[in-house]
Chain A
Amino acid sequence: QVHLQESGPGLVEPSQTLSLTCTVSGGSISSGGYYWNWVRQRPGKGLEWIGYIFETGSTYYNPSLKSRIIMSLDTSKNQFFLRLSSVSAADTAIYFCARDREDTAYNHWGQGTLVTVSS
């Protein structure tokens, strides 16, 4: 069974860069044709797609966040990463990593990690 686990600082100062890691177990991130996503949920709000990285390393980002996002992956560690720069209080949210593919949708999610942007 595939398991995803987010990790990273729970507190980031304004204007700094938020960096998160998603560690995948029970399956390889470099096979199967899966997209490895980041999704966030601001307090009391709905789900917001941030972007994904495909197993080949190609990426696609939410246009509203595109200028501040970099996603990458490390196949040797079976991990993928999110970097969100120039953060503000509006980036305070629970950040989820999740796996999807057209025929499976988002059938595997991490538990989520709360990131607070504050000085």
Chain B
Amino acid sequence: EDQVTQSPEALRLQEGESSSLNCSYTVSGLRGLFWYRQDPGKGPEFLFTLYSAGEEKEKERLKATLTKKESFLHITAPKPEDSATYLCAVDGNNRLAFGKGNQVVVIP
């Protein structure tokens, strides 16, 4: 069974204080690793897909990286609007397995 573990569960950052979120996964054959952002009361919103170790993708202040066992979501100089829960998911068996998320709060 595919498993995804995200750490830390919760993170409070000062505005401008860069940090990284971790997603460790166990999957028989990785078809893709996904990062989503979820705001309170809303559905997850797609951010990135990574397919192979060494791949990196960027969007504004966010950068996702992938190794054979984990993925990192780096948040550079965060702003309050980056406050959200970030979900990691792996597709290893024709179904997405999600982690429980990293809840990020950015304080002005």
Partners in one complex: no
Instruction: Name A's B-contacting residues (CB within 8 A).
Output: none
Q: B residues touching A (Cβ–Cβ < 8 Å)? A: none
